[in-house]
Amino acid sequence: MLNDVLLIWKFRSGDSDALAKIYEDHRHNLLRIATGLLNQAGAAEDVVHDVFVQLAQSPERLRLRGNLRSFLATCVVNRVRNANKAAQRRRTGGLDQAEAVACDSPGPERWILANERFTMLRNALAELPYEQREVVILHLQGGMKFRDVAKSQGVSINTVQSRYRYGLDKLRSLLDGEV
């Protein structure tokens, strides 16, 4: 936490090394969160790219209340929700029905590289209803407390805990024998 505060203070004072350090420390986790939520590697890469660019352009907006990891996870999830809304406007099916796009498809531009374990997890997460997926990812990968997830989703903590429980049960049935 103290490291976060120092890093942010340096970044807000204009230190680009501090920004590079934030990027180094958090890019993998944010890509993992965005891919899990969207189940589309290309869209996830765009989201994380935009989160970092916006952070770079407006350091004054970085006001930490919890830890930096949770703050950045919230930035990602907000952008994913916007992407969801835009996608729902464009098509009748929701993101729950979105088909997975292989993240190791050929092309020089790909940022995320597939590995077997991550692909297995991503496919299992894609089977969860979106709200459950979001709770599981924000809690386990974003390091957010249930209380904060509840605030972010605008529902009660009981609802978030139910979503988490159902999400984990489903993951357990999907990944049974693999984990």
Partner 1 sequence: MKPRDRIERFVADTKIDTSDKRDRQVLGEVLQAHKDSRQGTSQELQPHIWRIIMNGNTRKLAAAAGVILAVALLITMSDWMTRPAWALAQTIEALKEVKAIYIAGRVHYPDRQIDAEIEIWATAHTDDPAVSGDFRYREGDDHLCIASERENLTYVYDQYSKPNVNVVYITEGLNRRGPIFPSGDMLEEFKKAAENWQEEYRTDPATGRPCVYVTFAGPAVNTARYWQIQIDLQTKLPVRAAVWFDEPRQGKPHYEYTDVQYNPTIPEDSFKFSIPTGAQIIDCRILRKRIEGVPGVGVSVAGLSCEEAGKKVAQAYWQAVIAQDWGTAQNLRPLATDPAWDELAALYAANPPTELVAIPTINHLNDPGTFVEVCCVVRFKDGATRRSLLNVDLKETAGGRIGVVAGTIGPDFYEAN
Q: What is d(CA 167, CA 170) in angstroms, rounded to the nearest whole number? A: 5
Query: Quick one: which of 25, 49, 87, 98 contacts partner 1 (CB under 8 A)?
Result: 49
- Torsion, CA 164, CA 166, CA 167, CA 173, rounded to 10: 140
**C-beta atoms surrounding 146 within 10 Å:** 17
- For residue 48, the minimal CB distance to partner 1 (Å) is 8
Binding range to partner 1, per CB under 8 A, among 1-9, 22-30, 68-76: 22-30
d(CA 33, CA 18): 22
Chain-centroid distance of CA 35 in Å reads 7
- Whole-number Å distance between alpha carbons of 111 and 42: 8
Angle between helices 146-153 and 68-90 (to 10 degrees): 30
Binding mask 77-96 toward partner 1 (x if CB under 8 A, else -) reads -----------------x-x
With CB under 8 A as the contact rule, the residue among 42, 64, 118, 153 that binds partner 1 is 118
Q: Is 61 in the site for partner 1 (CB under 8 A)?
A: no
Residue 52 binding partner 1, by CB under 8 A: yes
Taken as a whole, the chain contains a residue count of 179
Binding site for partner 1 (CB under 8 A): 14, 16, 19-20, 23-24, 27-28, 31-32, 35, 49, 52-53, 55-59, 65, 94, 96, 109-115, 117-118, 121, 125, 129-132, 136-137, 140-141, 147, 151, 155-156, 158-159, 162-163, 166, 168-172, 175, 179
